[in-house]
Structure 1
Amino acid sequence: MIKHLWLRLIRPLDPWLLIILLALICVGQITLYSAGERSFDRVESQMINFAVAFACMWFVASQPPQRLMSVALPLYLLGVALLVGVFLFGDVSKGARRWLNIGVTRIQPSEMMKIALPMMLAWYMHKHEAMLRVRDFLVAAILLAIPVAFVLKQPDLGTAILIAGSGFFVLYLAGLSWKLIVPMILVGIVSIWFVMDLGRCSQVFHDYQCQRVQTLLDPSTDPLGKGYHTIQGTIAIGSGGVTGKGWLQGTQTHLDYIPEKTTDFVFAVYSEEFGLVGNLVLLTLYVLALMRGLSITMHANTLFGKLLAGAITMTFFTYAFVNMGMVSGILPVVGVPLPLISYGGTSLVTLLIGFGLLMSIRRHRAMIKFG
Structure 2
Amino acid sequence: MTVFDKPSLSQRLKPWFSGFDLPLLLAIAWMMGLGLICMYSAGYDHGTRFVDHSRNMLISVALIFFVAQIPPQRIMQLAIPLYTVGVLLLIATALFGITKKGATRWLNIGITQIQPSEILKIATPLMLAWWFQKREGLLRLPDFIAAFVLLAVPVLLVAKQPDLGTSILVFSAGFFVIFFAGMSWKLIIPAFMVGAIGITTLVLSEEKICQPEVEWLVLREYQKNRVCTLLDPNKDPLGKGFHIIQGEIAIGSGGIHGKGFMKGTQTHLEFIPERTTDFIFAAFGEEFGLLGALALLAGFTALILRGLMIASEAPTLFSRLMAGAVTLSFFVYVFVNMGMVSGILPVVGVPLPFISYGGTAMVTLGLGLGLLMSIAKTRRPRY
Q: Fold-level match, TM-score > 0.5?
A: yes
Equivalent residue in structure 1 for 2:128, among 121, 137, 160: 121
Q: How many residues align?
A: 367
Mapped contact 1:245–1:273 kept (Cα < 8 A): yes
Q: Is the CA contact (8 Å cut-off) linking 2:44 and 2:50 kept in structure 1?
A: no
Partner residue in 1 for 2:102:
95
Deviations for 1:330-366, whole angstroms, at most 9, x for unmatched residues? Answer: 0100000011100111101101110111111111235
Q: Are positions 1:69 and 2:76 aligned together?
A: yes
Shift of 1:182: 1.6
> Is 1:226 aligned to 2:226, yes or no?
no
1:148 equivalent to 2:162? Answer no
CA contact (8 A) 2:16 2:69 kept: no
Q: Which amino acid aligns with 1:103?
A: G
**139-148 or 174-183, larger mean C-alpha shift:** 174-183
1:342 maps to 2:356: yes
Structure 1 distance, partners of 2:163, 2:12, is 43
CA distance in 1, matches of 2:16, 2:281: 33
More helix as a share of residues: 1
Contact 1:37 1:254 in 2 (8 A): no
Match of 2:223 in 1: 209
Could you tell me which residue of structure 2 aligns to residue 364 of structure 1? 378
Q: TM-score, normalised by structure 1?
A: 0.94
Report deviation, 1:18.
Answer: 1.7
Residues 178-223 of structure 1 show CA distances to partners (whole Å, capped at 9, x for unaligned) of 1111222333455665798636653221111110000110000111
* Distance in 1, Cα, partners of 2:46 & 2:274: 16
Q: Counterpart of 2:32?
A: 25
Identity of aligned residues (%): 54
Match among 235, 257, 262 for residue 243 of structure 1 = 257
Counterpart contact for 1:12–1:58, Cα < 8 Å: no
Structure 1: distance between partners of 2:308 and 2:324: 6
| Length-normalised TM-score, structure 2 | 0.91
Larger radius of gyration: 2
- Structure 2 counterparts to residues 276-315 of structure 1, below 5 A: 276-315=290-329
| Shift in alpha-carbon separation, 1:226–1:182, aligned structure 2, 3 A | same
Choose 263-272 or 6-15, whichever is displaced more.
6-15
Which residue identity is paired with 2:355? I
The Cα shift of 1:7 comes to 3.6
Larger CA deviation: 199-208 vs 14-23: 199-208
Q: CA deviation at 1:25?
A: 1.2
Runs of 4+ in 1 over 6 A off after TM superposition: 194-197
Q: For residue 83 of structure 1, what is the aligned residue in structure 2?
A: 90
What do the CA deviations read for 1:53-88 (whole angstroms, capped 9, x no partner)? Answer: 222222211101111111111111111001001111
Separation (CA, whole Å) in 1 of partners of 2:365 and 2:290: 26
Answer yes or no: is the 8 Å Cα contact 1:234–1:329 preserved in 2. yes
Root mean square deviation, CA, Å: 1.9
Q: Is the 8 A contact 1:60 1:360 kept in 2?
A: yes
Equivalents in 2 of 1:190, 1:201: separation in Å?
20
Q: What is residue 5 of structure 2 aligned with on the other side?
A: none
Whether contact under 8 Å (1:33, 1:40) holds in the other structure is no
Structure 2 counterpart of 1:50, from 57, 81, 85: 57
Alpha-carbon distance in structure 2 between the residues aligned to 1:366 and 1:292: 15
Provide, for residues 73-114 of structure 1, a one-character-per-residue CA deviation record: whole Å limited to 9, x for no partner: 111111100100111111001110001110001111111101
- Kindly tell me: are residues 23 and 6 of structure 1, through their superposed partners in 2, closer, same or farther at Cα, counting changes over 3 Å? farther
Structure 2: gaps of 5 or more residues: 1-7
* SS at structure 2 position matched to 1:130: coil
Q: 8 Å contact 1:122–1:170 — kept in the other structure? A: yes
Q: Is the 8 A contact 1:260 1:266 kept in 2?
A: yes
